[in-house]
Amino acid sequence: MSEKNERRPLPDPASAELRGLISDAETRAVYDVLYQAREEPLAMPAIRERVSALTGKSNLQMDRRLRSLRTHFDVPARRVPEKRNLFVYPLLGWNPDADKRTTRKNIPGSVRALVHHTYGNRCAACGRTPKDDQVKLVIDHMVPLDLGGTNDPENLQLLCDEDNHDKQALFADHQENADALRKSLSLPEVHLRIGELLKAMAGEDVPKELIVLVAREENNGDPTKRMRELRSLGWIIKNSQRKKGRRVLSFYRLEHWEPWPPGGPQAAVVRLERARRRAKRAQKAPSGTDLRSTAVE
Ligand SMILES: [Zn+2]
């Protein structure tokens, strides 16, 4: 760790120094927002909103931009007390050593303690505890380090030995899909991430756990809902279940896919939902003529 780096003042958002470090204007806008909010760090929705206001663009790839900022600057995710899934992102200074984030042994004790506290000393998968169930808990990287996961607290969870073992076995079984997983994880929208993984593994049974991994949504997301949304875009995805030991495993198999709609899948899904709601309202409140014609039929 370099002392010099820690004391070096942060560059002004409009400075040539920052432009020299970061060529992408949107990433500099993220820096600008974090820089202005140093005293009172913001959560992601507020950051996104302000960056959109600065750049005039929505649909920004915030995860990727934050990752690229973190190669230069120290921007930890801090959990808001009492709110398990809310994080604020303080811009603390220069990143003293970017490489430190990416090895398992460098999870600081304070972060380990935080993870144990957040998960109430329970396995995130089965809910068992050392006290009641005599299980041993380990800290797990939700996105594994070799797939680009970090030691940031939002990527860490507690798993019991057994669930941790199952997860490692799952990734060992899918070694050949590592590139597809890495590529999916780098995409900006949840439907793209899930859809591109399904495409890369088309015709194979893709375990739900891999879908949850690339979805990168809070509380393991809602894979059933995401599959429904992809189906609404014309995709054919078969779901199957298989029993394995004490649990039921769920798989998704892609049988047909459609090109991504212009403007991206997220916007298309929102449009479809809006149209469906309008159609429902029209059905509920028919005009007098409609009533009569229905009665005649
Ligand atoms: Zn467990």
Tell me the CA–centroid distance for residue 162 and ligand 1, in Å: 6
> What is the reported pLDDT for 214?
95
Are residues 272 and 188 located together in one domain of the fold?
Answer: yes
Are residues 158 and 195 located together in one domain of the fold?
Answer: no
Radius of gyration of the chain measured on its C-alpha atoms? 23
Torsion angle in degrees (nearest 10) through CA of 207, 255, 188, 270: -110
**DSSP percent split of the chain into helix, strand, coil, nearest 5:** 55, 15, 35
Tokens of 44: 């992601």
Residues 176-201 pLDDT 10s:
898 899 899 989 899 999 999 999 99
Contact, 259 vs 204, CB < 8 A? no
In CATH, what number is assigned to the domain containing residue 10?
3.30.420
* SS3 state at 32: helix
Residues 6 or more apart in contact with residue 198 via CB below 8 angstroms: 206, 230, 235, 237, 252, 254, 257
Tell me the CA–centroid distance for residue 133 and ligand 1, in Å: 10
Domain boundary pick from 80, 96, 112: 96
Domain assignment present for 80: yes
Domain assignment present for 49: yes
Are residues 5 and 87 located together in one domain of the fold?
Answer: yes
Tell me the CA–centroid distance for residue 200 and ligand 1, in Å: 29
Domain assignment present for 295: no
> What is the reported pLDDT for 2?
45
Q: Provide the residue type at 104 as one letter.
A: R
> What is the reported pLDDT for 244?
83
> What is the reported pLDDT for 101?
47
Tokens of 67: 């990752």
Average pLDDT, integer, range 221-238: 96
Is this structure's pTM higher than 0.85? no
Query: Of the candidates 213, 205, 201, which has an alpha carbon nearest to the alpha carbon of residue 240?
Result: 205
Distance of CA 158 to the CA centre of its chain: 18
Tell me the CA–centroid distance for residue 139 and ligand 1, in Å: 12
Are residues 11 and 65 located together in one domain of the fold?
Answer: yes
Strand partners, 73: 94
Domain assignment present for 250: yes
pLDDT band at 4 (very low <50, low <70, confident <90, very high): very low
Are residues 160 and 125 located together in one domain of the fold?
Answer: yes
> What is the reported pLDDT for 266?
94
> What is the reported pLDDT for 293?
44
> What is the reported pLDDT for 294?
45
Are residues 137 and 82 located together in one domain of the fold?
Answer: no
pLDDT band at 287 (very low <50, low <70, confident <90, very high): low
Tokens of 124: 């995130």
Domain assignment present for 296: no
Are residues 46 and 72 located together in one domain of the fold?
Answer: yes
Q: How far is CA 175 from CA 147, 165, 172, in A?
A: 11, 15, 5
Tell me the CA–centroid distance for residue 83 and ligand 1, in Å: 22
CA distance 68 to 183: 16
Are residues 182 and 246 located together in one domain of the fold?
Answer: yes
Residues 142-161 pLDDT 10s:
988 878 788 888 899 999 99
Are residues 141 and 197 located together in one domain of the fold?
Answer: no
Average pLDDT, integer, range 219-234: 93
In CATH, what number is assigned to the domain containing residue 248?
1.10.10
CA distance 152 to 87: 11
pLDDT band at 211 (very low <50, low <70, confident <90, very high): very high
Domain assignment present for 43: yes
Domain assignment present for 55: yes
Domain assignment present for 205: yes
Mean pLDDT of the chain: 87
Range(s) of the domain holding residue 44: 1-96
Tell me the CA–centroid distance for residue 127 and ligand 1, in Å: 6
Are residues 184 and 155 located together in one domain of the fold?
Answer: no
187 or 8, greater pLDDT: 187
* pLDDT exceeds 90 at position 278: yes
> What is the reported pLDDT for 7?
66
* pLDDT exceeds 50 at position 3: no
Contact, 76 vs 108, CB < 8 A? no
Tell me the CA–centroid distance for residue 170 and ligand 1, in Å: 15
Residues 65-115 pLDDT 10s:
998 898 889 998 888 887 777 889 999 998 876 544 456 667 888 899 999
Average pLDDT, integer, range 132-151: 89
Domain boundary pick from 143, 166, 189: 166
The number of distinct structural domains making up the chain is 3
Tell me the CA–centroid distance for residue 142 and ligand 1, in Å: 14
- Beta strands 206-207; 236-244: pairing state: unpaired
> What is the reported pLDDT for 107?
85
Strand partners, 53: none
Residues 17-50 pLDDT 10s:
888 778 788 999 999 999 999 999 999 999 999 9
Tell me the CA–centroid distance for residue 130 and ligand 1, in Å: 10
* pLDDT exceeds 50 at position 296: no
pLDDT band at 54 (very low <50, low <70, confident <90, very high): very high
- Beta strands 93-94; 236-244: pairing state: unpaired
Average pLDDT, integer, range 171-175: 84
Domain boundary pick from 166, 193, 208: 166
Tokens of 125: 């998968």
Are residues 152 and 232 located together in one domain of the fold?
Answer: no
Query: Of the candidates 169, 248, 250, 149, which has an alpha carbon nearest to the alpha carbon of residue 206?
Result: 250
